[in-house]
Amino acid sequence: MNKFTLKLSLLVLCAAVSGLPVQLRAADSSQPTEKAQTNPKKSNAVPFNGKLKSVDQVAKTISVGERVIHITSETKITKDGKPAILADGVVGEKVAGAFRKADDGTLNATTIHFGAKAKSEAKSEAKSEANKEHSEEPKPEM
């Protein structure tokens, strides 16, 4: 009788231990689902560039091509590499930047750059072009 009780206890113990990981896996799989729902994924910024078609300071929008881009309090605006405001935009000049599409379909600017690139950017591009030219030249053999 002792052997039977011992075997039965061992069998019950093995069954209880093997059922434990199944319960943990079920609990673990529900946690990421809840976490994913509480933290919605933000959309990536979409770059744009072209000529400035219009600036509306009242509606806080700019038009570039067929797009109307809204300026928010979080939009970073620069002109010629220096901090600027919406009024610094001149119709017909180059403009570039990035926007995010909101749930309601509006395009909200994250960054806007009016005018030519900053001098430091132009210098770094010139240096990289010069480096390309030097690396393409054949080296003299000795």
Q: pLDDT, tens digit, for every residue of 47-61? A: 999 999 999 999 999
* Residue 60, in any domain of the structure: yes
Range of the domain at 73: 46-120
* Residue 132, in any domain of the structure: no
In CATH, what number is assigned to the domain containing residue 101?
2.40.50.320
Report the mean per-residue pLDDT for the chain.
75
> Radius of gyration of the chain from Cα atoms?
31
pLDDT at residue 107 above 70?
A: yes
* Residue 20, in any domain of the structure: no
* Residue 127, in any domain of the structure: no
* Predicted pLDDT of residue 6: 75
* Residue 19, in any domain of the structure: no
* Residue 12, in any domain of the structure: no
- pTM for the full predicted model: 0.54
* Residue 77, in any domain of the structure: yes
132: β partners: none
Rounded to an integer, what distance in angstroms lies between the CA atom of residue 21 and that of residue 23?
Answer: 5
* Predicted pLDDT of residue 122: 46
Q: Measured in whole angstroms, how far is the alpha carbon of residue 130 from the centre of its chain?
A: 31
* Residue 98, in any domain of the structure: yes
| CB 136 within 8 Å of CB 128 | no
38 pLDDT tier (thresholds 50, 70, 90): very low
Number of compact structural domains in the chain? 1
SS3 state at 19: helix
The half-sphere exposure of 5 on its side-chain side, counting CA atoms within 13 A, is 2
| CB 91 within 8 Å of CB 57 | no
- The least confident of 3-12, 43-52, 79-88 is 3-12
